[in-house]
Amino acid sequence: MAISQGEKGKQGRGNAMFMVISLAVVCVLLAGEPASAVSFHGRRPFRPPVRTPVRRIYPVGGNGMWMLGSKVSYNKWAASKVFRQNDQILFTFNPTFHNVMLVSAAEYFSCSPRKPMAIYRKGKVSFNLAKRGTYFFICGIPGHCQAGMKMAIKVL
Ligand SMILES: [Cu+2]
C-alpha cells in the first residue's frame, strides 16, 4: 500500500503536534500544582525552616544553688550571661530555708515583697524566661534578699 508523499507529511506533523501538546499538558500539571501538595517520596512538603527558639538551661550562679552566702554574687553571674527568650534558670534550694519569688522592680530594690507575682517553694524550679525584658527574683524569707539572695535577669 502506497501512501502518498502528502499523506506521510501530514502524519509526521500530527505526531509532532501531539508531542508538543502532551509536553505542554505535563508542564501545566507540574507548574499548576500548589506547592503544598507536592510531596517527595511520600515525605512532607518542603517548607522553609522556622527559627526555633533557643532554649538553654542556666543553673543559677553557675552551680544552681540558691542559697545564703553563695560564693558568686547572683547579679555578677547574671551579668556575665546573655539570656534569650525561652532560656531557663534552674534554682535548686533547701525549701525549709528559702524560696524563689518573682517580684516587681520596686519590690526587688526595696527587698519587700508585698505582692509577689509568683512564689516557688519546692526545692527545684525551672523558670522559663518566656518574655523579653527584666525579671526580678528574690528569696522571700526575711533578711535573705538583703543578704544577697536577689537577682535581676535581663532577657534579650
Ligand atoms: Cu533564702
Question: Is the predicted pLDDT of residue 44 greater than 90, yes or no?
Answer: no
Question: Is the predicted pLDDT of residue 33 greater than 60, yes or no?
Answer: no
Partnered with residue 150 across adjacent β-strands are 138
Cell reading at 114: 508585698
Average pLDDT value over all residues in the chain: 81
Domains of the chain: 1-50 (no CATH), 57-155 (2.60.40.420)
How close is the Cα of 46 to the center of ligand 1, in Å? 51
DSSP state of 119: E
Q: Please, are residues 45 and 77 in contact by the beta-carbon 8 Å criterion?
A: no
pLDDT digits (tens, 9 = 90+) for 77-102: 999 999 999 999 999 999 999 999 99
pLDDT of residue 30: 42
pTM for this one? 0.67
How close is the Cα of 140 to the center of ligand 1, in Å? 6
Q: Which residue has the higher pLDDT, 2 or 104?
A: 104
Pairing verdict, β 88-92 and 57-59: parallel
How close is the Cα of 73 to the center of ligand 1, in Å? 14
Over residues 124-133, mean pLDDT: 97
Q: Please, are residues 148 and 155 in contact by the beta-carbon 8 Å criterion?
A: no
pLDDT of residue 37: 44
